[in-house]
Structure 1
Amino acid sequence: MTVVEAVRGDLTRQHADVLVNAANSSLLGGGGVDGALHAAAGPALLAACRRLRAEQLPDGLPVGEAVATEAGLLSARWVIHTVGPNRNAGQTDPAQLAACYTHSLDLAVRLGATSIAFPAIGAGVYGWDPATAAEVAVHAVRSHPTDGLELIRFVLFNDPLLAAFRTALEDTAQ
């Protein structure tokens, strides 16, 4: 059985096989979770992302898709990068947000990971409100196959997000 939990914390300090990056489509770093992961991982993460852009993703990573790289100095084996829909730019389809989670889970399973830590994708500068972001994320995770994953952790950086994710987890536990 897969444990699904929500904790308050710093994603860059999580011990998991996979840390999920709420990336921008360039994959070359940015603000928020993306910037924090790049800073903590050191230059290896940026180098891996530059290789992806040069070899596989010349136009960047599309919204909802996921791709993995090495984790650099992070306490993880891999970083899975996914691009959330930017609600502030008119990307309001919850299915795109759900795809960030399901495609990341699919990739983690293919990599052989047993644990994965997610941020609240889209709930920062991309404008998704905490309750909606949490409902979409939890529903996507709970309704998707997680073969081999023992732990799925949502790592939230503030109390309103933590409360929203805990409420969504409680609502789906019945």
Structure 2
Amino acid sequence: MVDLKKVRKALVWGLPLFIGVGASCLWVVSHGIIPTIEAIASQAPVVRIAPASQVTPFVAVFSMLGALIGSMRAIPISDRAIHPFECAFKVTVLLGMAAMVLIPVSAVVQRFYMPNIGYSICSELEGHPTMWFTDWVRDPTWCVRGQSLEWVNEQARTSVRN
């Protein structure tokens, strides 16, 4: 049997932590992953890809499930009612671990796939913070040291007008 006093005590810090981590991961998905996919699909002039961000959807789901399961344990609810959520939690953790293992694979895959759809790698742009982010441009002449992503977009707009 679960010690309710310990579960409730852990929820004091655990619930805000799970919700905060889950919310920040959802923010990364909505402001990092989805715009990147949309940019690639619309053949944007410049794309910045963060391969490690593929883990965030899984972290968001298992954080929210962790908060839910912890709350259910604190009420308490029968083990039979909690079991499906615990199974979903375990599956999500395993999928997240698989996504982590596949980070190097996705980094290698993008180096083969992106040139096939017309992008050239560019490690010269401003804000290219670490090896965990990769910038891709449609025109290699737009890869100018110290210039920003906005500058590349402006170059693309002016070249379309001319």
TM-score interval for Structure 1 and Structure 2 normalised by the shorter chain: under 0.3
Greater RCO structure (CA 8 Å; 6+ sep): 1
Greater helix content: 2
Greater strand content: 1
Q: What is the TM-score with the length of structure 2 in the denominator?
A: 0.27
Q: What is the TM-score with the length of structure 1 in the denominator?
A: 0.26
Task: Kindly name which structure, 1 or 2, has the bigger radius of gyration based on alpha carbons.
Answer: 2
